[in-house]
């Protein structure tokens, strides 16, 4: 028996590969499925089943690609209504994988079709449970993402019953393998680990403590941040179906001359630059949007770029394919080429370039008392801002900068000093503002992590001003 967690950090997503006696199953695969096919070939096993825990909202699943390439059926749980061929399993239905047995546990709550899968070892003893977005380490799936006509309170009530009757009754030593880890927006505050046990979660997870259904509904629905804008569309795509990734790659992986690149941009294509934020600020093609591959790239791309928007890319050499795949993971399929030779080719051709001025936090501290037009723009989430911020700073979370009404609230004649927590989001924000015509701006290096320690900087915290 082999159970392997295949974790993708930039999406906080976990897929699983199970094998026994020449047979295998994949749970919640990503759209780029070659990793599972290669693994099966290396191990000499045949992928027999593809199990989905629910219609994912935060990424495009690879169920269609993997089924087409392997012939394996796609399994969903009860109450699934899909736009493609599936096997809709019944609650309690069993599937064999070699000498292993997988039992379907219908656990509505995160969504109506949400289903967990309990794996029994060769002796028939419960070994682990794949919980999807029903149960995370330290949290549970939010009940407000893809609920149809049901309210979040309705779904939270279903989740209470699912956890009480299906999850908490499992043996304490059963391993919990969720679909997501820390940083995911599919829960409120996931713990730092990507697996646990039923016993540990019953001790430490707030949602598994003894309480009434009314109390559970109240606590699970409280404090939910607005989900990323692309979540509803990704859930719809996963439900209805999508183009094959191979077809997306054929269209996107096209080198463009400078002339062709400029023509596409002139006709409405957005320029996406995926080089590191620290490199981007030193020089870039005018009007480019910076979203560096080194951060939570796919999540921010999905949050800031309309899924049907045509894109042309500027990447680090050799990163073209990776960029296209990672965009496709969140349903951004309309890439029509990349700048051949990258930014260096553009620069060497003598084309116009733009840049963003980086400043150290100490410079911000020196300028603040003497510049009455200086405006500190904090693009962190509201909860981060409330935990501590520069006195007088304006909080404008990064994802709000796609709204022209919000951008219009920023004074064009002010000296903007932009920061986030560490420097990644602030460069994205600066590029968005540059694209809207704001050029009198600075990117504060190191973000609030460095700013808060600068001598003479006045920081507002929930307890005091220091």
pLDDT at residue 427, as a whole number: 98
Token pair 């439900």 in the structure block, residue: 239
Residue 428 — φ and ψ, nearest 5°? -60, -45
Q: Tell which of 207, 233, 259 closes a domain.
A: 233
- pLDDT at residue 111, rounded to an integer: 94
Same domain, 260 and 390: no
Q: What pLDDT was estimated at residue 229?
A: 87
Q: Based on the fold, state whether residues 76 and 224 are members of the same structural domain.
A: yes
Q: What is the pLDDT of residues 54-70, one digit of tens each?
A: 999 999 999 999 999 99
- When divided into structural domains, the chain yields a total of 3
Does the structure show a pLDDT above 60 at 219?
Answer: yes
Contacts of 416 (CB under 8 A, 6+ apart): 375, 377, 410, 433, 438, 440, 441, 442
Closest listed residue to residue 28, CA positions, set 233, 194, 249: 194
Q: Is 126 helix (H, G, I), strand (E, B) or coil?
A: strand
H-helix or E-strand containing 87? strand 87-88
CB 277 within 8 A of CB 283: no
In this predicted model, what pLDDT tens digit does every residue of 83-102 receive, in sequence order?
999 999 999 999 999 999 99
Question: 226 and 253, same structural domain?
Answer: no
Q: Are 319 and 446 within one domain?
A: no
The answer to whether 319 and 274 are in contact (CB under 8 A) is yes
Residue 301 lies in a domain: yes
Let me know if residue 155 belongs to a domain: yes
Q: Is 246's pLDDT higher than 80?
A: yes
Work out the mean pLDDT of the chain and round it to a whole number.
95
Do residues 258 and 339 make contact, with C-beta atoms less than 8 angstroms apart? yes
Distance CA 417, CA 139 (A): 36
337 in the same domain as 277: yes
pLDDT for 395-430, tens place per residue?
999 999 999 999 999 988 899 999 999 999 999 999
Q: Are residues 64 and 156 in the same domain?
A: yes
Q: Does residue 146 lie within any of the structural domains?
A: yes
Co-location of 97 and 6 in the same domain: yes
What's the chain's Rg over C-alpha atoms? 24
The CATH number of whichever domain residue 253 belongs to comes to 3.40.250.10
Residues 331 and 369 in one domain: no
Whole-number Å distance between alpha carbons of 130 and 105: 10
pLDDT of residue 464: 67
Rounded to whole angstroms, the Cα distance separating 79 from 114 reads 9
On whether both 291 and 428 belong to a single domain, the answer is no
Whether 465 is in a domain gets the answer no
Q: Once rounded to an integer, what is the mean pLDDT over residues 119-125?
A: 97
Mean pLDDT over residues 241-265, rounded?
96
Assess if residue 119 is contained within a domain: yes
Identify whether residues 133 and 152 lie together within a single domain. yes
pLDDT tens for each residue of 361-402? 999 999 998 888 899 999 999 989 999 999 999 999 999 999
Residue ending a domain, among 165, 199, 233, is: 233
- Provide the residue range defining the domain that includes 125: 2-233
Structure tokens at 291: 């979203």
Same domain, residue pair 67 and 15? yes
- Evaluate whether residue 395 is within a structural domain: yes
Question: Does residue 246 sit in helix, strand or coil?
Answer: helix
| Residue 450 predicted with pLDDT over 80 | yes
pLDDT at 148 over 90: no
pLDDT tier for residue 172 given thresholds of 50, 70 and 90: very high
Residue 337 and residue 414 share a domain: no
Domain contains 229: yes
Domain boundary residue among 198, 233, 268? 233
Q: Is the pLDDT of residue 466 over 60?
A: no
- For residues 172 and 128, the answer to whether their CB atoms sit within 8 Å is no
Spatial strand order in the sheet of 13-20: 2-8, 13-20, 23-27, 46-51, 74-76, 87-88
238 lies in a domain?
no
Q: What is the pLDDT of residue 261?
A: 98
Element (H, E) at 163: none
CATH of the domain at 194: 3.60.15.10
């Amino acid at each position: 028996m082999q159970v392997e967690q295949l974790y993708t950090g930039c999406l906080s997503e976990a897929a699983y590969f199970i094998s026994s006696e020449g047979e295998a199953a994949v749970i919640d695969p990503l759209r780029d499925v070659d990793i599972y096919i290669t693994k099966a070939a290396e191990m000499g096993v045949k992928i027999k089943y593809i199990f989905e825990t629910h219609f994912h909202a935060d990424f495009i699943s690879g169920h269609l690609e993997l089924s087409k390439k392997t012939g394996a059926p796609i399994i969903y749980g009860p109450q699934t209504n899909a736009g493609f061929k599936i096997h809709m399993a019944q609650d309690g239905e069993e599937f064999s994988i070699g000498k292993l047995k997988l039992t379907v546990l219908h656990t509505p709550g995160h969504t109506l079709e949400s289903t967990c899968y309990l794996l029994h070892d060769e002796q028939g003893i419960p070994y682990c449970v794949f919980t999807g977005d029903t149960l995370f380490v330290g949290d549970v799936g939010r009940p407000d993402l893809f609920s149809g006509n049901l309210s979040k309170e309705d779904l939270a009530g279903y989740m209470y019953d699912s956890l009480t009757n299906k999850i908490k009754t499992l043996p304490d030593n059963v391993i919990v393998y969720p679909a997501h880890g820390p940083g995911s927006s599919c829960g409120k505050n996931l713990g730092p680990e990507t697996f646990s046990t039923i016993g540990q979660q019953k001790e430490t997870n707030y949602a598994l403590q003894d309480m009434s259904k009314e109390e559970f509904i109240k606590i699970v629905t409280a404090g939910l941040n607005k989900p990323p804008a692309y979540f509803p569309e990704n859930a719809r795509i996963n439900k209805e179906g999508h183009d094959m990734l191979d077809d997306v790659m054929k269209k996107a992986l096209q080198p463009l001359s400078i002339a062709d690149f400029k023509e596409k941009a002139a006709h409405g294509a957005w320029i996406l630059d995926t080089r590191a934020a620290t490199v981007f600020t030193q020089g870039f093609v005018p009007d480019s949007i910076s979203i560096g591959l080194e951060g939570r790239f796919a999540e921010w791309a999905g949050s800031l770029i309309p899924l049907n928007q045509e894109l042309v890319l500027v990447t680090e050499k050799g990163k073209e394919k990776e960029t296209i795949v990672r965009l496709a993971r969140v349903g951004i399929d309309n890439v029509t080429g990349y700048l051949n030779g990258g930014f260096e080719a553009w620069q060497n051709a003598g084309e116009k370039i733009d840049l963003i001025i980086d400043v150290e936090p100490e410079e911000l501290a020196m300028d603040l008392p003497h510049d009455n037009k200086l405006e500190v723009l904090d693009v962190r989430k509201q909860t981060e801002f409330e935990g501590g911020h520069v006195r007088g700073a304006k909080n404008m979370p990064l994802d709000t900068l796609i709204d022209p009404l919000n951008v219009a609230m920023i004074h064009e004649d002010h000296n903007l000093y932009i920061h986030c927590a560490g420097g990644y989001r602030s460069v994205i924000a600066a590029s968005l503002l540059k694209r809207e015509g704001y050029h009198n701006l600075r990117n504060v290096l190191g973000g609030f992590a460095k700013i808060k320690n600068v001598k003479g900087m006045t920081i507002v915290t929930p307890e005091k001003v220091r």
